[in-house]
Structure formats: C-alpha cells, structure tokens
Amino acid sequence: MLDEMSIELPVTPEAIAKLELGSVVYLNGIVYTAREGVYDKILVKGDQLPAGLTRSSNVNFHCSPAAAPVENGGYHIGGVTATASFRFSKYLSEWLDLTNTKIIIGKGGMPVDDYKNILAPRGAVYLTTVGYGTGALLGRGVEAVEAVHWLDELGIAQAMWMFRVKDFGPFLVDSDLQGNSLFAQQGELVNKKIEGLYDGLKKPALHRYGETDDRKDELM
Amino acid sequence: MISNSIIEQASYEIMKQAAIDIPDDYLNGIKSVAEKESEELSGFVIKTMVSNYEAASGDRRPMCADTGLPRYYVKVGDKAKFDGGFTGIERAMRSATARATRDVPLRPNRVHPLWRTEHNNNVGINSPEVEWSFEPDADWIDITTVHKGGLFGTDYRMLFPGDGVDGIKRFLLDTLISFGKRGLCCQPAIIGVGIGGSKDTCMQLGKQAACLRIVGDRNPDSGIADLELELMDIANGIGMGPMGFVGSSMAVDLHIEVGHTHTGGMPVSVHTFCLSSRRATARINGDGSIEYRTDPRWFTPYHRRETVQWEGA
Ligand code: SF4
C-alpha cells in the first residue's frame, strides 16, 4: 500500500519535509490557480499580485477549471483537471520568490533539474495529479470559490481562481527537498527495456530530420 | 419528419452524457486491464480513475475538466426526412454545443488559433467539426459526439511499402514511448491506427478507429483483426503503465482502419483516446423518437465499402 496523508494549508516547512516520493496526499485549505496568463501578467507586464494572496495560500495549481457563473453570483465548478507543467519552467524561480509558494500541483511533473535548481532550494515540492483525468474527484474537493481574479481579462481558463478545498486529491508526491523525482526514477526503470523492444524490426526506409532518435529522451 | 429542434435536443443530451458518463465498454476494458496490472503505482492510478468515473456519474459533473474539443459525426439514412436541410442540422448542432458548454459546464476550449480569441462556447471557425456519412435503407439519423482531449498522443508518418508491418510496429512504439512518458497521453487508452488513404484520410481513419469503435470490437478483415491484437500486445509489452510508471497498462484496445492508398506509399497515423474516452450517440428515428447509446456503430459495411458497387450487407 502507498502511504497516505492529509495536509492543512498553508503548508508548513515541517509538513513538506515529511513528504516522500510516491506518497498519496490530500489537501485542506486554500489553493490558487496560475498558469501562463497570470505569470505573464505579473512577471512580464509587472502587474501587482492580488492583496493577501501570499498570506492565504502557498499552493499553486496548474489548472483550468470547467467553471460557469451561476445566477446568485457565484460559480459552478464542474470538473477540475491539471494542465502539463513543464511548459511553465521559465517562470518558476521568480514566481516562487515573489509569492513564497511551497507546493506546485500540476500534470506530469517538471524536469528533474528544475527540482534540484529551483524548487528544492526554495523549500518547495511538486505534487502531480493522478491519471490524469481525475476532474470529477478533484471537483468534489472544491468546497467554494473564495475569489477569482482577472476573469474578464484572462478568461475562465487563464484566470486566477482561489479555491477553498477539503480532502482535495489524491495527488502523488513527485519531488522532495533533495530534488529527487518519482517520474524520473520510474522513467529510468522503463528505459532499461526500451532498446530491446526494437530488436529484430528492420530500419525505416526514410529517416527524419530534427527530432531526437534516442528513445530514452523525454520530449519536454 | 425530423425537426431541427429534435436534432438540437438530442445533440445537447449527448454532449452532456459524453462529458459525464464513461462508456461501459471502456469501463469494463479498464477494469480488465487493472486485473492484469501487477505494479503498485500503476494499479493505484487505475483504481483512482475508476473512482473518478463513479464520482462523475454520481455528482453529474464532467469526468475530466478538460472536456476536449467537442465535435460530431453524423450518419444520415437515405430515407430520413428532415426539416431545414443539412445546414439546418448543422445549425442545430452548433447551438446545442454552445448551450451544453454553458450548462454542463464544458470548458470553452475553442479559441482562434492565432488571435487566441474565443466566444466562450466551443463554437467558432470550423468548429465544432461535423463529419458526414450515409446509410442505405434507413430512415434514421445517428448523431455521435466525441470529446477528445489531448494535445499529446497523436502522430503521423509516411512509411513505404518496403517498411511493411515492421515499420508500423516501429512507428507505434515510437509514438507510445514518446507520449507515454509521464503519461502525457493519459493512457491506458483506446489506440487507433489509420493505415493508407491520402495523408488527411489516414489521420481521419486513425482518429475514427480510436474514437468510434468500442472496446472488444475487431476489424472484419481477419488479417487486420490479428494485427490489432498483435499491436495491442506490443503496446502493453512496453513496460509502461499510466502516467509513464512501470507497468503493463498502455492500451485498453487497439483498432485499425485502412483505406486504399498510393501504390508507392503506406501512410500511418496513431491516435490515443485517453482515460476520459468520451463518446455518446443518439439515434433519431423517422417518427422523431430518440434512443441513446454509447456504441457509435460508425463503421458499417456500407461505410467500409470496397468496390464500385456495394452489394448489401
Ligand atoms: S488527455 Fe487526459 S487531461 Fe486530456 S481530456 Fe483526456 S484524460 Fe483529460
């Protein structure tokens, strides 16, 4: 059985230190969504963070919810699914410094070098969603929309949503404070078998330019 | 006579069903894949997915928040009588898409490719796509919607006759290994392989093979059916499971569709229909009654016809 634990947010350094690769995590408290739209706005255009963000949440979810406004003025959150995180590498060191974020949640993890050079030195870890299509389970964990920022300007997918969550998960711990990565470890195990899969298959008639042909490489 | 408003109602309903309820064939397929999975992490992921489908159906919420690119496949019987012409059907389906986007809700994924502007309702230039097919001796209209997500997991390659089945295997392995890492294509998936046709047909055939045939269905050509099973074993023998973890669960099924092609070439496409394999079909009968199902029954004998004359099924 995999280890399971529940974490209260904002997360403390002690709780982070206890996380081990491959453990299953559920969250309680406030998480915010931010992806390229928000990162560009704050880090490139130089706009201000919403007041109080750094006090209420230190968990950045790479996500675009299926959300729709309802008549009494709130929002109906249907499913909640993460988006692939590797695309956001270039923003992260500045973002973590600015917001003091300690947990990144997303889809598929980030390159192990980012864990070693960006997350771990700042006391931050990465949790991955499971599957990844667990939109309904994660949607269940969202109790309320505390606030939404820049909805008109950035649209539903890119806006910053503040979710109050309860038993929000499951997530798997992908990185720890040493900068190790579960994905990288699993990938190495898978790679051991890959050469052999091509044994006996003849070479293609036409080769291609510009792409890796080392199948141990990741494409991100 | 089938009215535009019946078309609209049926299209709206299948949009909702597709987003929320996982088709039984896929659910059973995933459960049998899970039984063979001996790795703990991969097994945990599949178990979690099964609870996710239950949560989606139980709460009536989308199984995945990325509700993909909603689109339609329409099969019209030769004897079907309907109002408003073909453009009336298309208009009704566009309006159903917008309404479902607001009500379910679906994520308004559709944006202009260059300006990134949107109408917030999944309707726009060339979207939703509508593909048409016809059926002899029938008075019904079948409308299928597919919500396929995934920026990842699809590829195309022009192979040559000399590459043979080895070339197909090599290309399949390349595609699944590259997109299977970290589970970018959200495997275990229904894999569709298109072989032959023109380049665009080849893509279309592979996509339809993934999205419009149910788990357990085999191609009527026994040689192709055998190749389907062989390629599925190759996929599940990579050693990779969900999320790219060590495991044996890559394919829930694998379908091949072929089209006669240029004598000098053998184009091949590979498509993965992800963990949220969302499809739903409505049959609108001649009397206006509607029946819902999850098997699109798209590849009829007429659809796969192979000669000048088609001699009934
Ligand atoms: S590929 Fe994954 S994230 Fe995208 S729709 Fe499918 S299950 Fe959801």
Q: What is the pLDDT of residue B308?
A: 83
Tens digit of each residue's pLDDT (9 = 90 or more) over B5-53: 999 999 999 999 999 999 999 999 999 999 999 999 999 999 999 999 9
Q: pLDDT exceeding 70 applies to what percent of chain A?
A: 99
Q: What is the pLDDT of residue B151?
A: 82
CB contact under 8 A, B61 and A79: yes
Q: What is the pLDDT of residue B43?
A: 96
CA-to-CA separations, A198 to A219, B43, B172, in angstroms, rounded: 19, 26, 11
By mean pLDDT, which of A47-51, A64-68, B76-80 is the weakest?
Answer: A64-68
- Average pLDDT rounded to a whole number, residues A27-39: 97
Instruction: Find out whether A128 and B58 touch, Cβ atoms under 8 Å.
Output: no
- Average pLDDT rounded to a whole number, residues A43-54: 95
Instruction: Find out whether B57 and A140 touch, Cβ atoms under 8 Å.
Output: no
Q: Which of B64, B107, B122, B252 to mutate to test the pocket of ligand 1 (most atoms within 8 A of CB)?
A: B64
Domains, chain B, in order of start with CATH, read 4-17+63-149+279-293 (3.30.1330), 150-273 (no CATH)
**What distance in Å separates the CA atoms of residue B253 and residue B233, rounded to the nearest whole number?**
10
By mean pLDDT, which of A23-37, A74-88, B187-201 is the weakest?
Answer: A74-88
Give the pLDDT band (50/70/90) at residue B310: low
**What average pLDDT does chain A have?**
93
Identify the sign of the CA torsion B163, B178, A64, B111.
negative
CB contact under 8 A, A137 and B41: no
Q: What is the pLDDT of residue A77?
A: 86
* Pocket around ligand 1 at a 6 A CB cut-off: A 81, 132-133; B 64, 66, 68, 149-150, 186, 274-276
Q: What is the pLDDT of residue A115?
A: 97
CB contact under 8 A, B45 and A204: no
**What distance in Å separates the CA atoms of residue B6 and residue B225, rounded to the nearest whole number?**
38
For the question of an ipTM over 0.95, the answer is no
Give the pLDDT band (50/70/90) at residue A218: confident
Structural element, H or E, at residue A96 = helix A89-99
**What distance in Å separates the CA atoms of residue B254 and residue B189, rounded to the nearest whole number?**
9
Which residues in chain B belong to E strands, given as ranges?
A: 69-77, 130-135, 141-148, 155-159, 189-196, 251-259, 266-273, 278-284, 290-293
Structure tokens at B297: 């029954």
Taking the model in full, what pTM does it have?
A: 0.92
- Average pLDDT rounded to a whole number, residues A126-155: 92
- Average pLDDT rounded to a whole number, residues A91-115: 96
- Neighbouring C-beta atoms of residue B200, cutoff 10 Å: 11
**What distance in Å separates the CA atoms of residue B302 and residue B75, rounded to the nearest whole number?**
11
**What distance in Å separates the CA atoms of residue A158 and residue A181, rounded to the nearest whole number?**
27
Domains, chain A, in order of start with CATH, read 4-181 (3.20.130.10)
Instruction: Tell whether A207 lies on the interface with B, counting CB pairs under 8 A.
Output: no
**What distance in Å separates the CA atoms of residue B151 and residue B271, rounded to the nearest whole number?**
11
Contacts of B176 (CB under 8 A, 6+ apart): B185, B187, B191, B235, B238, B240, B250, B270, B272
Identify which of B49, B238, B243 has the shortest CB distance to residue A197: B238
Tens digit of each residue's pLDDT (9 = 90 or more) over B132-183: 999 999 999 999 999 998 788 999 999 999 999 999 999 999 999 999 999 9
Give the pLDDT band (50/70/90) at residue B311: low
Q: What is the pLDDT of residue B312?
A: 56
How far B230 CA lies from chain A's nearest CA (Å)?
Answer: 14
How far B142 CA lies from chain A's nearest CA (Å)?
Answer: 28
Tens digit of each residue's pLDDT (9 = 90 or more) over B92-135: 999 999 999 999 888 888 999 999 888 989 999 999 999 999 99
**What distance in Å separates the CA atoms of residue B51 and residue A13, rounded to the nearest whole number?**
31
How far B112 CA lies from chain A's nearest CA (Å)?
Answer: 14
- Average pLDDT rounded to a whole number, residues A191-213: 87
B164 Ramachandran zone, left/alpha/beta (phi>0; psi -120 to 50)? left
Assess whether pLDDT exceeds 80 at residue B313.
Answer: no
Distance B34 CA to ligand 1 centre (A): 19
Q: What is the pLDDT of residue A197?
A: 95
